[in-house]
Every structure is written in structure tokens, then in C-alpha cells.
A and B are shown apart, each in its own frame.
Chain A
Amino acid sequence: MTAPIPGPAPVPGPAPVPGPASAPGPASVPGSASVPGPASVPGSASVPGPASVPGVASTPGPTPSQTVGPFYGYALPFPGGGEVAPSGDATAITVHGYVYDGAGEPVPDALLEFWQAAPDGSLVPRPGSWRRDPASGAFLARDGLDFTGFGRVPTGADGHWTLRTLPPPPTAPYLSICLFARGLSGHLFTRAYVEGLGGERELKGLAGDRAETLLARREGAGVFRFDVRLQGEGETVFLSFDR
């Protein structure tokens, strides 16, 4: 493409934001004028409100979730999304499993995101989960060196997913999972506690008699199995982080 493009710079700076200078942002959100803010959203009452930040005007309520739908597949997955462990790391583990719906059928269009601490317990977020080809913009694999703690894996036609990562630390012995799928109005959080890292007691306290649904069971050397049941018998425990 060689024609001069009269378009805008890729990211216009803050200048074009209209509205009162003393109220950054919120005033321009649709509906904010007539909406009584976060209190109108169920569950947000216990949340420390905007008033807790000095100098910041009241913020409209949170933007609600909408389903990821069936067609995210050409936008969100990326090469090496499930290869969180640096290449060749002998301590890497494989965690894998299926996602099932309420009829026990595999879910072929779910997307799982993983987030965890490094084996040494550190949680310093690090970019670099993917790299781009500067010539074509194509997605390249990771650099094989840095551990970013982040993975993203779509299920296959059989509802199965696989993640290769480093074991989480005994201080936080789990992979945090955020699951998206067509049919879910929002995402679901859960955790896969990796068996043998000492998290079984914490797990019992968290999920009681449903704790088993959060355990990634050892299948063999360095291989762990974690199935997600969205609904029905053996329904996986899903987590919330407010209240």
C-alpha cells in the first residue's frame, strides 16, 4: 500500500478527550450522567468506592462482560500460547485436560488463560509472551528465555487443552485460570492446584468438599490432569475475588 493515508496517527494522545478538565474521562461515558454509579451494579456495594482516591472524580460503574462468542479464534490465540516454560527447561511440567458442558460433552470453543507465580515465588510481571515479525507483523513464538507467567490456549475440537509451564511455588501452588466460551455471559475464574506442592490444605479451606475439582492430579512424571466441568455433577468450583 503506497498511497498516502490521510488517517489519524495510530494513537492520538490525551488531547482529544473532551469534557471537564477536573473529571478525567467519566463524564464522557454514555449513560454516566443519569446513572448513579457503581452502587447500581449488584455486588459492588462492598467495594471501596472511587471516593477512596483523593482528587479523582466519581467513576461510572464497571463495564459489564459480554460473551467471547464463537469467532475469537483468529484474534486471541497466538503461537506458543501454551508454551509458558522457557524452552528446554528440565523442570517444566505439562498440565492438560478437557472442558465439559452440563451434558458431559466436550466444549470445543473455550479459551483458557493461565497466570501464575514463578517457581521462586516471584510475581514480577514481565512482558514478552509473544513476539512479532517486524516485516510482516506475523506472530512469532516466544523468545524461549523469559518466563512471563501468562499462557493462552483454546480448546481443540475434542475439548482438550495442554499447557507446558514451570511449577508454581509452594507459596502459591496453583495456576490461576480464566475461562471464556460462547454461551458464558462472562469469564469464569478457577485454580488448578498442582498436586504434590503442598497446597492440599489451602485447597480444602477454599473449596471444602468440592476441593477435588481444583486439584490438578499427577498422571505421570511431570504430567498433571485438570478437567473443567462447567455445570452439573462434579461442577468445578469457580472463584470470585470481591466480597
Chain B
Amino acid sequence: MTIDAVPDGRSAGRVVDPYRSGALREPTRAPVAVGGDPEAVELYGPVFGTTEVTSLDADLTRRHLAEPHGERITVSGRVLDRAGRPVRGQLVEIWQANASGRYAHQRDQHPAPLDPNFTGTGRCLTDADGGYAFTTIRPGAYPWGNHENAWRPAHIHFSLFGRAFTQRLVTQMYFPGDPLLAYDPILHTVSDAAARARLVAAYDPELSVCDWSLGYRWDIVLDGPSATLPDPEATR
């Protein structure tokens, strides 16, 4: 995949509409730098453990009496810090629309069917290699009120914790080849094309499960400084 996978709207013959919901919410003043306080609590962060995740949490297709509708997929990758080190044993949470593009949320009034066999939430802890994996279905696109004919490209919402609170990340994973990527105001809140491309998963047949699911790979790099502590996993 090249960075052209997520062109800006101009190359698609139009300008991407702005993300309107931010007009009264995005701060107008620049953030204040905390500076080099080595005692800042944000250089540390919350951790999660075995009480917080169950073994079924990573399979979104097994929460109900029957299988959900949709194209079954496996989404897998690694969580790294900005030095390339794996982020081990940390919490990954996801949520998504069903195959028809409808969230199991009462404020989602898009007239597409709810699926009684799909809720759309998952979580897991990263393994010793920083790896995570979910089994789910490919979410549908859905319309939203940002502008006329605004449809969100298919996406999965991700929430991640690193070693430090500074590395906290909530983001969205997209699918390769989606024509809606070029028009999406939310994806284009990221101004840099190379950075946008990092939000698009890669189709990876190595991750596909034979006669069962299509594989997508998506690695995640968390930014932000952390306290320089010895890695407890490294000495175990």
C-alpha cells in the first residue's frame, strides 16, 4: 500500500468537507507544554489484568445465541511504543457498527437493521509480543449528518493504553480500497497523507482462517513519553 491509498479530496476532484462537530468543541488555544517534570503522573499509567478481560471478549461473533450477519474477519496486529518496543499486557478495546452499518446504541437511528446476534464491543490484553487479535465481522458504512451524502467508510473504533497516560490513544481502523476514504471528514482531520495511511489496515491472507474468516493486519504505534522504568516483563 502506498500513501496514495488515502488521497486528499482534491485528487478525488473535490475538497473534503470539514468535520462540523468540532466547530464549538475544538479548543482555540494551543496546549501548554508540561515540560520535563520527571515526576509528572502522566509518565505512568493505569494497568489492567486478568480480572478485567474474559477469554470470550476478543471474539465478537460469539456473544449471542447465533452467528451475526456479515463477512467474518480476523483483525490482528501489534501495539508498539514510538521506540518500536512492544506494549505488553495492556488493554485494547474496540467497538463498531454491525454489517448493516448500525450501532447497538439507542441514539443511532440510521434505519438499517439491528442484528440480535451482534453487539459490537470487544477487548483483550496484548500478549508478550504486543500482539492483539479480534474475530468480528466487517462493519458496514453508514450515513451521518455532516453534509449531504456523507457516509462514514467502514471502520472499527480502537482504544489503547500504553506504558504511560501520555500514550493514551483512541482512534479508528479503516479497510483498504474503500472509496469512501477519500471523502471522509473524520479521517481527514489528520492532515498528513502518510499519517492517514497508517490508519488503514492491510489485507493479509496469512491472517485469514481457512474457510472461516478474512485476515486484516493493523499495527499501532503509541506516541508520548514515558517514565524510564525497567520493563517488568523483560526480567521475568
A residues whose Cβ falls under 8 Å from a Cβ of B: 1, 5-8, 10-14, 16-18, 24-26, 28-36, 38, 40-42, 44, 47-48, 50, 52-53, 56-76, 101-103, 105, 107, 113, 115-117, 123, 125-132, 134, 137, 148-150, 171-172, 174, 176, 178, 180-189, 206-207, 230-232, 235-243
Task: Assess the B221–A62 pair: CB atoms within 8 A.
Answer: yes
A69 to B33, CA, bound (A): 26
Q: List 17 A-B contacts (CB under 8 A).
A: A7-B61, A25-B219, A31-B5, A35-B198, A41-B194, A59-B83, A75-B93, A75-B157, A115-B44, A127-B49, A130-B51, A130-B52, A184-B26, A185-B26, A185-B186, A239-B32, A240-B34
Task: Assess the A183–B171 pair: CB atoms within 8 A.
Answer: no
Task: Assess the A63–B27 pair: CB atoms within 8 A.
Answer: no
Q: Which residues of A contact B22 (CB under 8 A)?
A: 183-185
Q: Is B213 an interface residue (CB 8 A)?
A: yes
B residues whose Cβ falls under 8 Å from a Cβ of A: 1-3, 5, 19, 21-29, 31-34, 39-59, 61-62, 65-66, 74, 76-78, 80, 82-86, 93-95, 103-105, 107-108, 119-121, 124, 127-133, 135, 157, 159, 165-166, 168-172, 176, 186-187, 189-190, 192, 194-202, 204, 206-207, 209, 211-213, 217-225
Distance of A218 from chain B, by nearest CB (Å): 21
Q: Which residues of B contact A172 (CB under 8 A)?
A: 39-41
Q: From B34, B66, B83, B186, give the contact of A241 (CB < 8 A).
A: B34
A172 to B39, CA, bound (A): 8
Task: Assess the B56–A137 pair: CB atoms within 8 A.
Answer: yes
How many interface contacts (CB-CB < 8 Å) are there between A and B? 344
Q: Which residues of B contact A134 (CB under 8 A)?
A: 54
Q: From A50, A64, A71, give the contact of B105 (CB < 8 A).
A: A71
Q: Give the secondary structure class of B's interface.
A: loop
- Tell whether A176 pairs with B51 under 8 Å between CB atoms, given A107-B25, A189-B42: no
Task: Assess the B168–A187 pair: CB atoms within 8 A.
Answer: yes
A238 to B34, CA, bound (A): 10
Q: Which residues of A contact B24 (CB under 8 A)?
A: 101-103, 105, 183, 230-231
Q: Which residues of A contact B196 (CB under 8 A)?
A: 64
**Interface hub of A11, A131, A150, A206 (most chain B Cβ within 10 A):** A11
Q: From A13, A150, A189, give the contact of B129 (CB < 8 A).
A: A13
Task: Assess the B192–A40 pair: CB atoms within 8 A.
Answer: yes
Task: Assess the B84–A176 pair: CB atoms within 8 A.
Answer: no
A184 to B85, CA, bound (A): 29
Task: Assess the A61–B25 pair: CB atoms within 8 A.
Answer: no
Distance of B42 from chain A, by nearest CB (Å): 5
Q: Which residues of B contact A230 (CB under 8 A)?
A: 24-27
Task: Assess the B25–A128 pair: CB atoms within 8 A.
Answer: no
